[in-house]
Amino acid sequence: MTAGWISRQRHLLDFALSSLGRRRGKNLGLLAVYTLVVFVLASVMLFSHAIRHEARLVLKDSPEVVVQKLVAGRHDLIPAGHLEAIRGVRGVRAAEGRLWGYLFDPAAAANYTLMVPRDQPPAPGTALIGSGVAAVRDAAPGDTLSFRAHDGQLVQFTVAGTLERDSALVSADLFLVSEADFRRLFGVPEGRFTDIVASVRNPREIRTVAEKIDAALPDTRIILRDEILRTYDSVFDWREGMLLVLLSGAILAFGIFAWEKASGLSAEERREIGILKAVGWETSDVIRLKTLEGMVISLTAFLAGYVLGYLHVFHFGAPLFEPVLKGWAVLYPDFRLTPFVDELQVATLFFFTVFPYTVATVVPIWRAATVDPDQVMR
């Protein structure tokens, strides 16, 4: 029985292929549109997933707890006195003040992120710059960059070195300076910090510790590393979802297109199905035949679209997304995404593209298959 079943399916497949081939123009058009839809969706999903994964890996050792002071709902400098209060909370291992901020550089029309590394800070008057900064200012070690401080005076920095290009994804716009220079440039008084980072002795107690800090310092807000990671997860999930919802318009349009193509049977096709039924094909044979035709198209489109999307995102640097991602950013990190693909993504993509197509073609297929067998005699 199985051998007969197999050779029957193969005969049907043979016929389905030659039937597709006989309407080459129509089917190639459909295939092209379908592949394009899969390609765009695949690119979006692969890109978001890879970024998400990358963020998760890169930021896994970022500060456990960040404490920021709020004044009237806006972020404000935090007094050093809070440091003691935080260190006094049970479970806190260490707490340090961070100094960082944004600096708009009119020469490059770009925003830099100025930071004071507590670990190996640059000497006063020198700076370590990210690769993006180096690129927009065309700066090399030894060059001098000058900015206007908060009081209008010029502050000069000698470039002591650049951060590795490899780390551009986190460091492209960094401008690392000494604490004295930072305070001088922005006029941040001694005893004040941008925010405070704290580490916790027992990782399981982070949330409890955070609640204690919150209770002790009601004028602050607390950001946990878990939240940051989760934020990256959901930011891209959410945006990816939004994009998919928007693209679902495209999927819908494609579904309608597929329905149209499937139901717009030409007189010739109708005659063919009539002939098949008259000479002894059963309705379910015709349904199977048409389903095979649909499967050939959807599998081809899915596989081709996915592989093209993969190449686009990971081998060609996602050029189609660059405009959106870059936006008006002058400092865009020069990075190549590390490919991370997983089965769930591929399965979801398959579901998203093949399922609507299948649904859209069911009724037209059935309608085509129930052509009267005796109509060829009329």
Site for another protein in 164-203 (CB under 8 A): 164, 166-174, 176, 195, 197
Task: List the x/- string, 111-150, binding to another protein by CB under 8 A.
Answer: x-x-x-xxx----------x-x------------------
**Alpha helix (H) residue ranges in 61-130:** 81-87
Count Cα atoms within 13 angstroms, Cβ side, for 17.
Answer: 6
Task: Give the largest CA-CA distance in the chain.
Answer: 98
- Count of residues in contact with another protein, rule CB under 8 A: 148
Q: Which residue in this structure is represented by tokens 């039937």?
A: 19
Interacting span for another protein (CB under 8 A) from 32-40, 77-85, 183-191, 356-364:
356-364
Site for another protein in 202-221 (CB under 8 A): 207, 214, 221
Distance CA 250, CA 357 (A): 12
- To another protein, the closest distance from the beta carbon of 127 in angstroms equals 14
Query: What DSSP line would sit under 268-282, residue for residue?
Result: HHHHHHHHHHHTT--
Site for another protein in 286-305 (CB under 8 A): 287, 296, 299-300, 303-304
Establish if 93 lies at the interface with another protein (CB under 8 A): no
Establish if 155 lies at the interface with another protein (CB under 8 A): no
Establish if 378 lies at the interface with another protein (CB under 8 A): yes
Burial (Cβ within 10 Å: 0-12, 13-18, ≥19) of residue 158? middle
User: 66 vs 86, which CB is nearer to another protein?
Assistant: 66
Task: List the x/- string, 48-77, binding to another protein by CB under 8 A.
Answer: ---x--xxxxxxxxxx--x-x----xxx--
Neighbours of 193 (CB within 10 A): 23
Distance CA 227, CA 360 (A): 41
- To another protein, the closest distance from the beta carbon of 32 in angstroms equals 16
Distance CA 48, CA 335 (A): 15
- To another protein, the closest distance from the beta carbon of 43 in angstroms equals 13
